[in-house]
């Protein structure tokens, strides 16, 4: 139960993480003014902060990047915004984002009602917005929010679209987001020291390395980084964080196996004691069987089979309970039902090994009993 339950829970966490990274945008390269600080398994990493990537640098990059892929610009206005419609108002936990027309495609959003930002919205910095599903449901219930007027903070915006459900994970609330044109965000909310993010979605996984290299070269030119100097920006692929986390799940899995083996070792010692007691209690039975012609091999096979059967019954119950416990974790993380066939097979194999290991000595001891002494035991 401990082994299968823990390993199933780890698989559930891995599945949940994989969905989370897919939600955050797959096959993409992101450029920010901070470097990644992921150094799992080797102590905390250092997070470098560089000068802001300003609006004009970000736009120049988008206009001049010519590799196969889709470029999106975005900026976080506030993670604690509020949206109000008439007398209804959200909690102050809304992520307000300034984005361009490619943002939803790159981040994997789908527009359920209305339309995306058009060129006129973006060029004029119009007071229009697109609502996440949770905001739309809270303020408009089952109504279509398109063309309704809402307040984001103290400013009024016209809703031009709403998003399909995205889901929330790893602290990223995909449905608690409201998007406004990036120029509107710059004019109304942001300062010159604000840094913008650039995300490039590759057409295929094979293009990621090429895009990474070309994006680095273009950004170094824009930022005027001198030859030999390090990059003045942070660039990361969407799969780098997932790879780091998944690689470190190996250590967690190894720890779970180690704990499970210790548990099974204790169980083996307990089972051996039970079988030794059984041999002692059934000494007369062994003497009767031997007197009727049972060989030492028959006695060994009997007691060894009993030990293996006991272990397999316990293994079956343990596997069922382990799957139940693991899937409770899967349910809590939104991973769905997981059937860990490999871990189930390993569990039954280990139980078989434990049965042989703990039953062999009692079986040999039983087979060596003298039938006359055994009959006189009681």
With CA atoms as reference, report the closest residue to 276 among 250, 308, 307, 243. 307
200-to-48, 218, 342, 358 alpha-carbon distances in Å: 22, 13, 38, 59
Asked if 98 contacts 186 with a C-beta cutoff of 8 angstroms, the reply is yes
| pLDDT (mean) for 20-42 | 66
Asked if 17 contacts 246 with a C-beta cutoff of 8 angstroms, the reply is yes
pLDDT > 70: percent of the chain = 87
- pLDDT at position 19 is 60
Mean pLDDT for all residues in the chain: 83
Model confidence at 41: pLDDT above 60: no
Q: pLDDT band for position 40 (50/70/90)? A: very low
d(C-alpha 5, C-alpha 323), whole Å: 6
Model confidence at 22: pLDDT above 70: no
Residues 54, 58, 61, CA angle at the centre, nearest 5°? 145
Model confidence at 39: pLDDT above 60: no
Q: pLDDT band for position 57 (50/70/90)? A: very high
d(C-alpha 15, C-alpha 139), whole Å: 32
232-to-62, 271, 320 alpha-carbon distances in Å: 18, 64, 54
- pLDDT at position 20 is 58
Chain segment 92-114, per-residue pLDDT in tens = 989 999 999 999 988 888 999 99
Model confidence at 121: pLDDT above 90: yes
- pLDDT at position 344 is 80
CB neighbours of 140 closer than 8 A, spacing ≥ 6?
85, 148
pTM of the complete model = 0.61
Model confidence at 141: pLDDT above 80: yes
- pLDDT at position 169 is 47
Chain segment 61-91, per-residue pLDDT in tens = 999 998 888 999 999 999 999 999 988 999 9
Domains of the chain, residue spans: 51-232, 243-375
Chain segment 262-295, per-residue pLDDT in tens = 877 887 788 888 888 888 888 888 888 888 888 8
């Amino acid at each position: 139960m401990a082994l299968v339950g823990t390993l199933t829970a780890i698989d559930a966490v891995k599945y949940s993480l994989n969905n989370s990274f897919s939600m955050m945008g797959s096959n993409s390269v992101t450029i920010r003014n901070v470097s990644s600080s992921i150094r799992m398994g080797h102590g905390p990493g250092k997070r470098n902060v560089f000068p802001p990537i300003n609006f004009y640098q970000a736009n120049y990059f988008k206009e001049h990047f010519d590799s196969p892929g889709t470029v999106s610009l975005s900026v976080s206005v506030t993670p604690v915004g509020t949206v109000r419609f008439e007398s209804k108002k959200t909690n102050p936990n809304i992520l307000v984002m300034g984005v361009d027309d490619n943002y939803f495609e790159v981040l994997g959003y789908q527009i359920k009602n209305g339309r995306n930002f058009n060129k006129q919205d973006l060029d004029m910095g119009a007071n229009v917005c697109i609502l996440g599903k949770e905001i739309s449901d809270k303020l408009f219930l089952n109504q279509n929010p398109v063309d309704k007027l809402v307040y984001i903070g103290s400013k009024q915006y016209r809703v031009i679209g709403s998003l399909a459900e995205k889901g929330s994970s790893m602290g990223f609330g995909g449905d608690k987001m409201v998007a406004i044109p990036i120029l509107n965000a710059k004019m109304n909310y942001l300062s010159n020291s604000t840094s913008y993010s650039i995300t490039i979605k590759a057409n295929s996984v094979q293009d990621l390395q090429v895009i990474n290299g070309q994006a680095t070269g273009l950004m170094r030119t824009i930022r005027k980084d001198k030859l030999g100097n390090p990059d003045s920006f942070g660039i990361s692929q969407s799969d780098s964080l997932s790879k780091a986390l998944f690689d470190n799940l190996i250590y967690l899995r190894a720890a779970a196996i180690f704990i499970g083996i210790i548990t099974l070792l204790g169980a083996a010692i307990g089972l051996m004691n039970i079988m030794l007691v059984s041999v002692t209690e059934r000494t007369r039975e062994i003497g009767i069987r031997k007197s009727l012609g049972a060989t030492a091999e028959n006695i060994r096979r009997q007691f060894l089979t009993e030990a293996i059967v006991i272990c397999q019954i316990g293994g079956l119950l343990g596997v069922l309970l382990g799957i139940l416990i693991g899937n409770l974790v899967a349910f809590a993380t939104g991973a769905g039902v997981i059937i860990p066939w490999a871990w189930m097979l390993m569990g039954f194999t280990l139980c078989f090994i434990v049965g042989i290991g703990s039953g062999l000595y009692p079986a040999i001891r039983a087979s060596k009993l003298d039938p006359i002494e055994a009959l006189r035991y009681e």
